[in-house]
Amino acid sequence: RAASASALGHASFRKLTVKRTKGRKPFLASPLPPVGEAPNWNVNVSHEGTWVVAASEPTCVVGIDVAELRRHKANGQPIDFHKVFKDQLTASEWRDVNSAGSDLDAQYEVFSRFWSAKESFIKARGDGMKFELGKVEFHWSALAGFPERTAYEGTAIVEGKAAPHWRFVQHRMPGERAHWTTVARGPVADVVDAQGEFSKNFRLPESKMQDGEWQAALLAPSPPCSVV
C-alpha cells in the first residue's frame, strides 16, 4: 500500500485497498487512478539481501525481482547451483553461465541475472512458482547509454515460442555487494487471474489500443531504481 500511495501521490496509504489473486499476487484494488493517466496501473515489489525494490506501470503488466549474489548457505556451505537449479535454466542459459569462466562467483552472477528475470516474469503474470522456470528462456543485449556490464535488455522465448510482447530490463544495483534487478513488462492478456478481480483493473487491453500505442508502452524507458 505504501508503494502504491507514493507512486500515485496519495498523502496516506490508509484508504488504499490491496487484494491478492488466487496465485497470491498482490494488487491495488482501489482507488484506481484516472483512466486517462494510467488505464492499467499496477505495481510489484521484491526484496532480497539489502534491497527492497518496487516498480509500477500505467499500461503494461509489470513484475520486478532483485537477486543478491549470495552463493553460500547460512551455514557457510557453498550452494551447488548447477545441480540444485539444473532444470530451472535452459541449455542455452547454462552455456551463458559457464561462459563466465571457471570462477564460480562469476558464473553465479550470470545465473542470478537469469533467475531474477524468470522471477520477474512469473511475478508479472501472477502464477508464481506454479510456472516451470525452465519453460522460459532469456536472451540479452547491452542496454544503450549505460556503462559496460551494468544494464541489459532482454527478450523471452516461452515454451519454445518467441514472446515479442514482453520486454525485460536489468540493472546492477549500486554498492559493493552486487545485486541485480529485473523489470518485466508484458500484455495484460497474459495475466493469470483465476478469480478475475485483478483483471478487472485493466481498462485498456492491448486489443483496444491504437496502432503503435502498445509498442510505445512496451519500449518506454525503464530507468534504474531511484534509491530512497
pLDDT band at 181 (very low <50, low <70, confident <90, very high): very high
pLDDT band at 24 (very low <50, low <70, confident <90, very high): confident
The mean predicted confidence, pLDDT, of the chain is: 93
Q: Is 128 left (phi over 0), alpha (psi -120 to 50) or beta?
A: left
Q: Is the pLDDT of residue 100 over 90?
A: yes
Q: DSSP class of residue 78?
A: B
Which residues lie closer than 8 Å to 112 by C-beta, 6 or more apart?
A: 67, 68, 69, 180
* HSE-CB of 43 using CA atoms within 13 angstroms: 19
* DSSP per-residue string spanning 124-143: HHT-GGGS-GGGEEEEEEEP
Task: Please give the model's pTM, rounded to 2 decimal places.
Answer: 0.94
User: pLDDT digit string (tens) for 27-42?
Assistant: 999 999 999 999 999 9
Asked if 226 and 52 touch (Cβ cutoff 8 Å), the reply is no
Q: DSSP class of residue 217?
A: H
What whole-number distance in Å separates Cα of residue 37 and Cα of residue 122? Answer: 26
Structure-model confidence comparison of residues 90 and 3, the more confident one: 90
The residues with which 3 forms a beta bridge, in sequence order, are: none
Please provide residue 215's backbone torsions phi and psi, each rounded to the nearest 5 degrees: -60, -35
The position carrying cell 496501473 is 41
Residue 70 has what pLDDT?
A: 80
**Burial per residue of 166-205, b for 16 or more beta-carbon CB atoms within 10 angstroms, e otherwise:** bbbbbbbbeeeebbbbbbbbbbbebbbbeeeebbebbebe
What whole-number distance in Å separates Cα of residue 116 and Cα of residue 113? Answer: 5
pLDDT band at 73 (very low <50, low <70, confident <90, very high): confident
